Amino acid sequence: MTPPARPPVRAVVFDLDGTLVQTRIASWEVFEKISRRYGLGVDDPEQYFALFNGNIYTSIAELCRDEQQAAEVKEEFLRLLRTEYTPPLVPGMAAVVRRLAASATLAVMSSNAMQVLRRVLVANDLAFCFAHVYGGDVIPDKRTAIRAFLAEPANGYGRRCSADYDEAGRPLTPDPASTVLVTDTAGDVRDALATGIRVVGVAWGMHTVEELTAAGAEFVALWPQELLAHLLGDAAADPVGGACALPAAPAAPTVEHESAPEPDPLAAVRAAAAARRRRRRTAARADVLVACAPAPPVPQPAQLAGAGPVAGGELLSAIRRTCGG
């Protein structure tokens, strides 16, 4: 049997931790200090993640000895989140948020402090994509926050990734059937269903696909881009302009390199000819040096047998005159 068609999505409410930002390590590192300081007995991340099966502050209060300690623990937890918690954005979520902001009213609801939400959204250039932000220090309970959002008479005016609200557009006031919560925890799924809105889970946060599905999520996205396909259908491929368009990537700096000279096909021929000329010049210089070398000294002739020293000297002088010497 084909399920009934759902109305177009007019509002998308995002959880922050584990949905928009990577939180499993960052938030555990903060809470571990709280658990150790107050002796709450939460000694590993899995125990901490289990606290999100319900409202996190209710779960923490159940670990405390009394209401006074619960209030003190909550205050200190929020203080550390404000000062030490700076989680990175989930890869791909900036593009998802911008695409949805182009056609729907967006909101953020979190058990985290407003100061943290502001820091994260501003740092990632997403602050003006959201028309409403509900922090845990303003409205700790998400059911209350969802009902406040649905009751807001002007919640049809979204923000199209710029500071002003879309007053020029035709407001499409969201109702429960056209409002979707996107979250990573089973507790949020149950809270959203209790208010009558739709819920979509994400697989990269606190709880598994199976846990989110069992809690009642209509769909669990394995990748951020799947959220667009599920919520917008074929319209997900429509181009987005204006402030909601993704900022152009900065151009890579150009590095100027000296261009290599074009290869000379006759270079080898010229080099061989030059080598031959050098060899010929070397050989010619050798011939000249031999021709111009001084004649070796004339050996003294032996004295003729029976001739005296004077006769030998006269003979030598005659030979020299004959040779021009």
DSSP class per residue in 70-104 = HHHHHHHHHHHHHHH--PPBPTTHHHHHHHHHTTS
In a domain, 37, yes or no: yes
Mean pLDDT of 62-79: 94
Check residues 103 and 289 and name the one with the higher pLDDT: 103
Give the pLDDT of residue 102: 94
For the question of whether the overall pTM of this predicted structure is more than 0.85, the answer is: no
- Whether residue 179 sits in one domain with residue 33: no
Mean pLDDT of 207-215: 96
- Whether residue 110 sits in one domain with residue 237: yes
Give the pLDDT of residue 307: 47
Mean pLDDT of 166-189: 88
Mean pLDDT of 306-322: 56
For residues 110 and 184, the answer to whether their CB atoms sit within 8 Å is no
The 10s digit of each residue's pLDDT in 71-118 is 999 999 989 988 988 899 999 999 999 999 999 999 999 988 999 999
- Whether residue 117 sits in one domain with residue 214: yes
- Whether residue 1 sits in one domain with residue 44: no
In a domain, 15, yes or no: yes
Position 185 pLDDT exceeds 90: yes
- Whether residue 109 sits in one domain with residue 79: no
- Whether residue 44 sits in one domain with residue 168: no
Bridge partners (DSSP) of residue 12 are 106, 180
In a domain, 299, yes or no: no
**Considering 211, 241, 271, which residue would you say is the last residue of a domain?**
241
For residues 155 and 132, the answer to whether their CB atoms sit within 8 Å is yes
**Considering 203, 218, 241, which residue would you say is the last residue of a domain?**
241
- Whether residue 134 sits in one domain with residue 221: yes
Indicate which CATH number applies to the domain containing 226. Answer: 3.40.50.1000
* Structure-block tokens of residue 40: 């709450």
* Total number of domains in the chain: 2
Position 323 pLDDT exceeds 80: no
Q: Are strands 198-202 and 179-183 parallel, antiparallel or unpaired?
A: parallel
- Whether residue 112 sits in one domain with residue 59: no
Residue numbers of the domain that contains 199: 1-23+88-241
In a domain, 261, yes or no: no
- Whether residue 232 sits in one domain with residue 93: yes
In a domain, 155, yes or no: yes
Give the pLDDT of residue 252: 63
What burial class does residue 116 get, using C-beta atoms within 10 Å of its C-beta: 0-12 exposed, 13-18 middle, 19+ buried? buried
Mean pLDDT of 181-189: 96
- Whether residue 156 sits in one domain with residue 47: no
- Whether residue 167 sits in one domain with residue 77: no
Mean pLDDT of 122-146: 94
- Whether residue 74 sits in one domain with residue 170: no
Give the pLDDT of residue 106: 97
- Tell me what the pLDDT averaged over the chain comes to: 84
The 10s digit of each residue's pLDDT in 222-275 is 999 999 999 999 999 998 888 898 776 666 665 555 555 555 555 655 665 566
In a domain, 223, yes or no: yes
- From residue 72, alpha-carbon distances to 27, 255, 288, 289, 325 in Å are 18, 57, 109, 108, 129
Position 294 pLDDT exceeds 70: no
Give the pLDDT of residue 148: 94
Percent of the chain with pLDDT over 90: 56
